[in-house]
Chains A and B, each alone.
Chain A
């Protein structure tokens, strides 16, 4: 380089003070968002689905827990629901389950054919259903009523008809 002259600045990242302020605000905002998400995850138990088990989609309807899908009572007020999402015919098996209010239900869902989705209305139970994988999340039902779960991934022409219902009895 030539000798610096008074009026000739060296190359440098010139950041406007206002823009610097905005950068700091943006970073703080993102950090606070991340902390809020972590709190919801660890203190409130709102988690993402995690690997549960791998299965062979070609045999799930003939062997293993999905061969007899449905509701099983593990203990008073604690249930597990094995549900198969069928793309050939576009239905959940079972289509309907029923539990008394105050029950906690752990859903296990898989597919023998194509990808599906499983979203239980008004809850944070929202999972992809992928052949070869078992998806699981849990929900406690305190208020009597009927709640739908819907398939939310395209699985063929009859996709729009694909849903199921959990009835919570008083």
Chain B
């Protein structure tokens, strides 16, 4: 490539002082590692309840009593377990992993330490305090409201306070990233932001805009209500607040995986990123479109006019576009890698990919599952088609292909090089790690296929179907299939945890044997990507305008017609 890169005049404005790589300090490694530790702990506890739920579906009883009877008084009900599973796996595992990973992508990408490491620590401590604060009522069965916490089911106030602390703590870490970036930008005018940092910053900004929804929900309604300061809340309005955050939340999970797929995986696979400009364009589209489409989660809500549901359906179709683009760019980057490794013919590059590298193979497998997750997502968003599957088992089937596959498997793949990198150890049992990815893949295929089918047959979500009186015979084989898939996933989860634990406990390895941060180059020099794809003001303006236009009128109507008539209920 290099003919272009060396002769272009643009290269002349690039300071040649950018170091080739950045060595993280011990403190930075400890800070990132600690966040991954909390994330993995959450995953290990949250994953305990998955197989219980799946086995419950099969109607398995022990001594004539349902499974949950065995765990009393530690676990009061299916729903306390489901709350733990959702909160720990979907909210805590993801958020802590992401803030840790972004600390790496910002510092390594920009080749500089955080401007204020103490701000990072402050954010992390707030998040951890929030986690502990929310954990107390959940463990005492005082907050079995699931991770959507729809009122008027009312949790103990500490649950809401804990969630706010986790979110605000992640904002504080974000502020640290922004300041670090701002300083780098001042010293490096005209240089394209390194892609891993670029994607991470956009994700963080998107998250900070989107979480305003649950911030307002909790601070103006749920918290004062749970403290007895407000006699009632408006459940419909709270659903709208929640989904203002709820859909971008899935992009907050997904985009860090995209950061890995775009900015790291091509390098790990032995190639380069196929298109730097389109990668950046996709991230901007996610910033602009992630938030003003949350009403597609409320298609069956009685209190939202259909015109707004229609508009949000169209915007959801629009946000499918950057993901379809991502599919092409990532696959083309892998094809490039496979051809560099000697692959010939139309598909000969596929077997040439480094399938023996557990980090690479689990990420590719996550992408395969995400094909089906994406198709399910387009189906969910398709306005009246949503009536077929809304709140059926299809929906958890769908998000297990997204957050529990595309995201979680990619995070596991990242951990397979990142944890050795941070600890200076070699990954323990790489063949077992390789098997772990395949086990998760197979378990998820079985599980999600059953859940999607159950949904099409009409089985409701969030329901212990093993005890439901209305289950027809044609659900039974699928309920059993769910149990099998869930059990395999449980093995996959704990293999991951075991590999991480043993890796950390190993003896330090020689520096040369410890993996480095894989930073992918792109085929075309990023300096040839136009400057408008590296400029915040226009995109941020469009994002905020679009939110005001697409959410403003309906939200204004709902707020000005607020009826705080619902007192709290604790029906568990």
Contact = CB atoms under 8 A, between A and B. Distances in A.
Interface stretch (A34-42, A61-69, A77-85): A34-42
B275 A14 contact: yes
Interface string B293-326: 0000011111111100100011001101100110
B565 A132 contact: yes
Nearest to A89: B571
A48 B467 contact: no
Contacts of A52: 302
**Leading 10 A-B pairs by shortest Cβ distance:** A156-B571, A152-B460, A152-B391, A135-B302, A133-B302, A2-B9, A160-B468, A26-B324, A8-B8, A124-B387
A104 interface: no
A contact face: mostly helix, strand, loop, or mixed:
loop
B438 interface: no
A34 B314 contact: yes
Given A26-B321, A131-B565, A49 B302 contact: yes
B571 A114 contact: yes
Interface residues of A, number: 73
Nearest to A117: B391
Contacts of A125: 387
A117 B395 CA distance: 14
14 contacts: A5-B7, A11-B528, A22-B325, A23-B328, A37-B385, A40-B384, A57-B565, A114-B569, A126-B390, A127-B302, A132-B563, A133-B301, A153-B391, A156-B571
B328 to A, nearest CB: 5
Chain B interface residue count: which class?
A: 35 or more
Contacts of A50: 302, 305-306
Interface of B: 3-4, 7-10, 12, 77-79, 146, 150, 152-153, 234-236, 239, 274-275, 277-278, 281, 298-306, 309, 313-314, 317-318, 320-321, 324-325, 328-329, 332, 378, 382-388, 390-392, 458, 460-465, 467-470, 524, 527-531, 533, 561, 563, 565-567, 569, 571-572
Contact of A130 (B3, B146, B236): B236
Contacts of A124: 384, 387-388
Interface of A: 1-5, 7-9, 11-16, 18-19, 22-23, 26-27, 30, 33-34, 37, 40-41, 46-52, 54, 56-58, 87-88, 113-115, 117, 119, 121-122, 124-136, 148, 150-161, 163
Given A13-B530, A152-B391, A19 B328 contact: yes
Nearest to B309: A48
B407 to A, nearest CB: 22
Contacts of A135: 300, 302
Contacts of B236: 130, 132-133
